[in-house]
Amino acid sequence: MIPFWRLSAYYFFYFAFIGAFAPYFTLYLQSLAFAAADIAVLMSLMQVMRIVAPNLWGLIADRAGRRVAIVRISAVASLAGFCGFFVTDSFIGIFVAMALMSFFWSAALPLVEGLTFDHLEGSMGRYGKIRSWGSIGFIVAVMAIGYALDVVAERNLLWMTASILAGIVLCALVIPEAAKPPPAARPAGLLAILRRREVQALLSACFLMSAAHGALYVFYSIHLVDAGYSKGLVGWMWTLGVLAEIAVFVAMPQMLKAFSLRSILAFSFACAVLRFLVIGWAVDSPALLAAAQLMHGATFGAYHAAAIAAIHRWFPGRAQSRGQALYGSLSFGAGGMLGGLVSGVLWDPLGAAWTFTLGSGFALAGLLLILAGLPRSGPGFAEDGGKA
């Protein structure tokens, strides 16, 4: 039987943590009088650890065959690391706490993604239904905390976020291990997979897509608050994007029947080019900002679902955990780190508009890679629809 609700609950709390942390922790750091560059460095630690930790834990999981045990260890250790924020407000202290928390927290998702696909036997339709609960968790957290921070001090964010991490611990304790799929007759080695042109093109494009989102995840809330919007409305803007993401996850089975993965990815990158230009240059227009947030359904929802479907197909058997970890570390890790650090350097001297324009440029480069590097035909990429 598919452990639908146990997996869904894990996704709910995992992405509720992101809904609490990503939009609002920068405001907490700003309340401690950190400069934009310092905030970017601290937030980029999350991305640095997503380069190192998933590959390390993925290798251990593939060799030991104990993915769930690692997910549980990471949940407990990330909560312990987060508790460091309660005892320090210095840059060095927060740096150390962030590094510890991020190292363990970033280990879990690639393993859970692999577990989910193994439980579902690779069915993208059912994956979308489970993954949508993560989007719901994000919405609940971002909305509740946004309104709460309009009436309480930013330091209360620590207690709210710690309670969500505790929820992750409880969910990790009930996730069951999944049976590994039978190995292929001639399983390809990791290096052989990475030599394939389409694999290189996709991973490079994913790196650029996350770099394009760097300013969004570090400075979007600050950008809107500085423009005069309330924290409650900031929460609504984040929520709007995730509602679009949920709609895409629900519609993904139909989309995969109508369009190839190549077409979905190309459309997602094109939307990212436009989205970040709008966020940077049209901050005074709530309607245009709302339209840009709706594009999150494409720039994250459709993009992520199509990308992990390709990774699951291209990294079979024992390479599965490392394939998902490599995708996460190169995209959300290295790409997110580059985007976050560059936006921190440019934010004060160039301003928000040009910083987000650079993000649009990253997305454009990724779009060109998708168009040039992914095949127009082949498993999962055929242009005749229904083959993905």
How much is the average pLDDT of 238-255? 87
341-346 mean pLDDT: 92
pLDDT of residue 123: 61
Averaged pLDDT for residues 14-33? 91
- Whether residue 313 is contained in a domain is answered as yes
DSSP string, 152-171: S-GGGHHHHHHHHHHHHHHH
Question: Would 310 be classed as within a structural domain?
Answer: yes
Quick one: pLDDT at residue 173?
94
Is the Cβ–Cβ distance between 182 and 359 less than 8 Å?
Answer: no
Whether residue 300 lies inside any domain: the answer is yes
**Is 379 part of a structural domain of the chain?**
no
Residue 188 DSSP label: P
Per the CB < 8 A criterion, the answer to whether 319 and 187 are in contact is yes
Is residue 386 assigned to a domain? no
Q: Give the pLDDT confidence of 311-324 residue by residue, as tens digits.
A: 878 887 667 767 87
pLDDT, average across residues 280-300? 96
Split into its structural domains, the chain has a count of 1
Show the tokens assigned to 51: 């380069």
Note whether residue 383 is domain-resident: no
Classify residue 164: in a domain, yes or no. yes
| pTM metric for this prediction | 0.75
- Residue, of 385 and 145, whose pLDDT is higher: 145
CB 81 within 8 A of CB 103: yes
Classify 217 as helix, strand or coil. helix
Residue 363's domain comprises 7-179+189-373
Note the pLDDT of residue 271: 98
Task: Please state, in angstroms and rounded to a whole number, the distance separating the CA atoms of residues 88 and 84.
Answer: 7
The candidate with the shortest Cα–Cα distance to 164, out of 22, 319, 313, is 22
| 45, two tokens | 């630690």
Residues in the chain: 388
Q: How much is the mean pLDDT over the chain?
A: 87
Tokens for 72? 């549980």
Q: What is the CATH number of the domain that holds 99?
A: 1.20.1250.20
Q: With pLDDT > 70 as the criterion, what percentage of the chain qualifies?
A: 91
The answer to whether residue 130 sits within a structural domain is: yes
CA dist., res. 24 & res. 22, Å (int): 6
